[in-house]
Amino acid sequence: MGLFDGKKGLILGVANDHSIAWAVAQQIMSEGGQCGFTHLPDRPDDERQRNRRRVAKLTDDCDQAAFLAPMNVSKDEDIEAVMQQAKDEFGTIDFLLHSIAFANIEDLKRDTVETSRDGFKMAMEISVYSLITVCNAARSIFSDNASVLTMTYFGGEKAVPGYNVMGICKAALDASVRYLAYDLGPQGVRVNAVSAGPVKTLAGRGAGVEDMLLLYEKMAPLSRNITHEEVGKSGSFLLSPAAAGVTGEILHVDAGYNIMGSPGRLLEGYGS
């Protein structure tokens, strides 16, 4: 018997097979869960439908993948359409994974103090407000004891040079997890976040993930980087009934990097 047998839910934010959202979804489906997926809408002039095709390549062969729908989280009508499709397909949903974040590359590359006004508003809307509005839209179809999970990063807790405006977004996302956990608690809905260490993803390319991988390997107590599978297992745990008493939490899956108060073993080899 699988941990998600009879469970149904939404996976928001798969871009390709390297996405953390896909790693979580794989664990859920391997444990018997059914998933509805969304993808970033393609431009009208993109006849090849690249965004849809990338995700469809993963979901088309999965018996546990119920549907694949376009969704732009900046458009309320898109969100409502996905929730209606989930209601038509599932009736109610037991879990919702939000793995969505975006900032203009120009704003990510410049110092935080130079972030553009429009770029800041867009980054906050897509990376933070989307969690709030998606949860609000899903309230009527959440089952009893449903669970919500979002993906955050240590750059929202401490200053991480190069992460810049996205660090501010993650700080706001972390706070949103706590407030949503409170608001949705009476309904029995739990809201948590996984703070993953760096892994190679499409989004990670814009955040200097290669340099972070080297740093984490030297500094983390486990002296290594994490894997997609490890994040997937931790994320699926928080979405599962096994975490029934956990809400408003941020679970660090980073080989222990976040506990360090000094460079640790990174100093080895330097003079005394």
Catalytic residues: 153, 163
Length of the chain: 272
Structural tokens at position 76: 């309320």
Structural tokens at position 207: 């955040």
Coil, helix or strand for 97? Answer: strand
Backbone angles phi, psi at 252, to 5 degrees: -85, 125
β-pairing, 190-196 with 142-152? parallel
Whether the CB-CB separation of 19 and 38 falls below 8 Å is answered with: no
Distance CA 83, CA 29 (A): 20
Distance CA 231, CA 249 (A): 15
